[in-house]
Amino acid sequence: MFCDVRWFIYALVSNGALSAEDAMAIYNSIEGEVSLELYAQAVLEQLAGGCDEQDASALLEQIQEVVNYAAAQGATGENPPMEFPEPDAPDAPVAPAAPAAPVRAAAPRQGFPPPRRSGAVPPPRRGSSAVPKKSSSAPAAAAVDEDEEPVRKKGGKREGLVMDSVRVFSEVEIDYSVINGYEDLPSLSDTAYLDDSELEYRMIYLLSCLRHLGCSDLHISAGSPPFVRRQLQIERIDSYVLTAEDAEKLNMCLLSPERAEFFRKEQDTSFSLEVGSNRFRVCMMFQKDGISGSYRLVPDHICQLEELGFMERDANTIRKLLDFNNGLILVTGPIGAGKTTTLAAMVDVVNERRSDHVITVEEPIEILQMSKNCAITLREIGKHTISYHSALKAALREDPDIIVVGEMHDLETIENAITAAETGHLVIGTLHTGDAANTLNRLLDVFPPSQQAQIRAMTAGSLRGIICQKQIPNGMGGIELVYEIMINSQAVANLISEGKTFQLKATMAIGSRLGMFTMDQLIMDKFNAGLITYETALSHMGDSETIAQMERQHAIEEAQKLNPAKK
């Protein structure tokens, strides 16, 4: 019997959830090698029999606490202070497990020691070289699987347990003073010769170093050299072209067996990776040449709106939008525009200024929000709920004040969001659109023609504002956030109701008193503030009138530089 399974049984028996006889009966009922994950699933199914949904959810959380505790205790190699009978022989008849009373949500079990995640297995220490040679017998970074939850098919059928929607690893010790460029990173050309623990260490080391170098994404793709995105530009970190076998080993080494099985079946997966205090969003897929993995480096703290690049006046406008008790606020922009960090900053504003119940729905959870003045409930697609639209439906029965939707991309989700906004909730969501007018067209065009008039009227009445953003190079070696803000004034509401969204840009351009402006106007303001260069500003403008105004202003400034006396 594995050490972590012994600790799991010990915790259950000590707290009265199962008798020792029942625990061993469940153990003997499992065929083959009994891992902690398999045993925990069997116990959960045994205890959850006859439970309603609320009790089953509470039981799931309690079982997960015991799993975390057992995994950490098992990593120490010490056995629990309890006598264990020898398991039945494989050909012995299996004794039926006696039914056990379910653990009720109103009376959670107490006394489980907290899991010892850090320190249970010490991280490997660096030597004098950039990448220390790690022997095959050296312990890998300690991994803990969090938040056990059923994986569901599209129809919602329970199929099994994925233990690791968030995978947690101990942070490795790195001397960042010797990591000054990509040449100081380990090469991936020896991937075929490394075992799983060495590959795991290599990936954690690489991700940590790339964060230090200011990269935002790492791509490990079959048939391509490993590359990163830094300052919005794609850069290779190695000339070695990864084979299909290399890409599979590097991407799969951070997956648990359950997650790996799920990925091979579904051919796509997304989850969060936690290394010490650092978090990463991982998306993996199969493609023509093999497996590709994208690793997004999530900010290590919740940024203020000004810290993200919003000018002070505009940050105040956004904060005013968040004072509403109901309605719909949209944060839009292309992929990589920083919508997730903006959404997190907005939730943090609410968390500081209000005392409400906030439910967020994401895929996966990227930036953790802790309850301050608000009660924050974080839910994840595929782990805590089946889909965005089902989560929105359920949220309306959970007494929320504010609902945050990570992505609104289908008719049901958009319809439920608008309905929630109309029924007294503040809904904050995101869309992948380039400007305010296209945002409304995208919002409305998913509905059939017979519903268009009704949805236009509902949107005109519930919409509070739209923040459309993107990131551009500033021309000085960095990046700058540019955006436009539309406030739902009476004029804007009329244009939405009448289907005249093509006139919104002109209304925004003259709506500065309400805090509205277009993307071009903001770019000009940032140029005047010295945040972006003239060439960069000009290349990202689209309105001919604003471009002409900027060219005249620039010509005057250049003439004044040549003849300062005429200033």
Helix H, strand E, coil C: the string for 14-56 is HCCCCCHHHHHHHHHCCCCCCCHHHHHHHHHHHHCCCCCHHHH
Please check whether residues 10 and 99 belong to one and the same domain: yes
Strands (E), 314-419: 327-332, 357-362, 375-380, 402-405
Please give the model's pTM, rounded to 2 decimal places.
0.68
Q: CB under 8 Å to 434, separation ≥6 — which residues?
A: 332, 333, 334, 468, 470
CATH code, domain carrying 320? 3.40.50.300
Q: Which DSSP category does 466 fall into?
A: E
Please check whether residues 426 and 310 belong to one and the same domain: yes
Q: What are the structure tokens assigned to 385, written together?
A: 């709920």
Contact 527, 550 (CB under 8 A): yes
Please check whether residues 291 and 322 belong to one and the same domain: no
Give me the pLDDT at residue 163, please.
42
Which residues does residue 359 pair with via DSSP β-bridges, in sequence order? 377, 403
CA angle centred on 254, ends 250 and 260, rounded to 5°: 95
Which residues does residue 145 pair with via DSSP β-bridges, in sequence order? 167
| 139 within a domain of the structure (yes/no) | no
| Residue 499 zone, left/alpha/beta (φ > 0; ψ -120 to 50; rest) | left
- The DSSP H or E segment spanning 549 is helix 544-562
Q: CB under 8 Å to 130, separation ≥6 — which residues?
A: 178, 179, 184, 185, 186
Whole-number Å distance between alpha carbons of 532 and 2: 60
Give me the pLDDT at residue 12, please.
85
| 14 within a domain of the structure (yes/no) | yes
Q: CB under 8 Å to 211, separation ≥6 — which residues?
A: 278, 297, 300
| 143 within a domain of the structure (yes/no) | no
Q: Which DSSP category does 450 fall into?
A: G
Q: CB under 8 Å to 375, separation ≥6 — which residues?
A: 356, 357, 358
Please check whether residues 211 and 357 belong to one and the same domain: no
Q: Strand 227-230: give its sheet, edge to edge.
A: 143-145, 166-169, 268-275, 278-287, 290-298, 217-221, 227-230, 233-236
Q: Which DSSP category does 177 fall into?
A: G
CA 166 to chain centre: 10
Whole-number Å distance between alpha carbons of 399 and 427: 13
Contact 149, 60 (CB under 8 A): yes
Please check whether residues 336 and 480 belong to one and the same domain: yes
Please check whether residues 259 and 408 belong to one and the same domain: no
Find the domain containing 75 and state its range.
Answer: 3-106
- Where a domain ends, among 106, 128, 163? 106
| 52 within a domain of the structure (yes/no) | yes
Total count of domains within the chain = 3
Please check whether residues 380 and 476 belong to one and the same domain: yes
Whole-number Å distance between alpha carbons of 379 and 1: 35
Contact 460, 288 (CB under 8 A): no
User: In terms of Cα–Cα distance, which of 336, 464, 331, 318 is closest to 407?
Assistant: 331
Please check whether residues 369 and 488 belong to one and the same domain: yes
Tracing tokens 């500065």 back to the chain, one arrives at 512
DSSP 97-150: PPP-PPPPTTS----PPPP--SSSSPPPPP-SSSS----TTSPPPPEEE---EE
What's phi and psi for 291, nearest 5 deg?
A: -100, 140
DSSP 275-296: ETTEEEEEEEEEETTEEEEEEE
Please check whether residues 320 and 288 belong to one and the same domain: no
Q: Which DSSP category does 517 fall into?
A: B
Residue type at 151 in one-letter notation: V
CA 123 to chain centre: 25
Contact 125, 29 (CB under 8 A): no
| 312 within a domain of the structure (yes/no) | yes
Q: How far is CA 38 from CA 11, 75, 92, 145, 442, in A?
A: 16, 17, 20, 13, 45
Give me the pLDDT at residue 25, please.
87
| 547 within a domain of the structure (yes/no) | no
- Where a domain ends, among 52, 73, 106? 106
What's phi and psi for 133, nearest 5 deg?
A: -75, 120
Contact 368, 349 (CB under 8 A): no
Please check whether residues 292 and 339 belong to one and the same domain: no
Give me the pLDDT at residue 4, please.
85
Which residues does residue 426 pair with via DSSP β-bridges, in sequence order? 327, 402
- DSSP-derived 3-state class of residue 361: strand
Please check whether residues 312 and 458 belong to one and the same domain: yes
Compute how many other C-beta atoms are within 10 angstroms of the C-beta atom of residue 384: 20
Q: What are the structure tokens assigned to 563, written together?
A: 């003849």
Strands 217-221 and 290-298: antiparallel
Each of the 567 residues of the chain gets a pLDDT tens digit; together they read 888 888 889 888 877 788 888 888 888 888 777 888 888 888 888 887 767 666 777 778 778 878 878 887 877 777 887 777 655 444 444 333 333 333 333 333 333 333 333 333 233 333 333 343 343 333 343 444 444 333 333 333 334 444 455 678 888 889 999 999 999 998 899 999 999 889 999 999 999 999 999 999 999 999 999 999 998 899 999 999 999 999 999 999 998 888 888 899 989 988 888 888 888 999 999 999 999 999 999 887 899 999 999 999 999 999 999 999 999 999 999 988 999 999 999 999 999 999 999 999 998 888 889 999 999 999 988 778 888 888 898 888 899 999 999 999 889 999 999 999 998 999 999 999 988 888 998 888 889 989 989 999 999 999 999 999 999 999 888 899 999 999 999 999 999 999 898 999 999 999 999 999 999 999 999 999 999 999 999 999 988 888 998 888 888 888 888 876 655
Q: CB under 8 Å to 298, separation ≥6 — which residues?
A: 272, 278, 279, 280, 281, 340, 366, 367
User: In terms of Cα–Cα distance, which of 118, 169, 378, 148 is closest to 259?
Assistant: 148
| 546 within a domain of the structure (yes/no) | no
Please check whether residues 294 and 347 belong to one and the same domain: no
CATH code, domain carrying 230? 3.30.450.90
Give me the pLDDT at residue 210, please.
95
- Where a domain ends, among 298, 319, 342? 298
| 123 within a domain of the structure (yes/no) | no
Give me the pLDDT at residue 503, please.
93
Number of helices and strands (H, E) in the chain? 19, 17
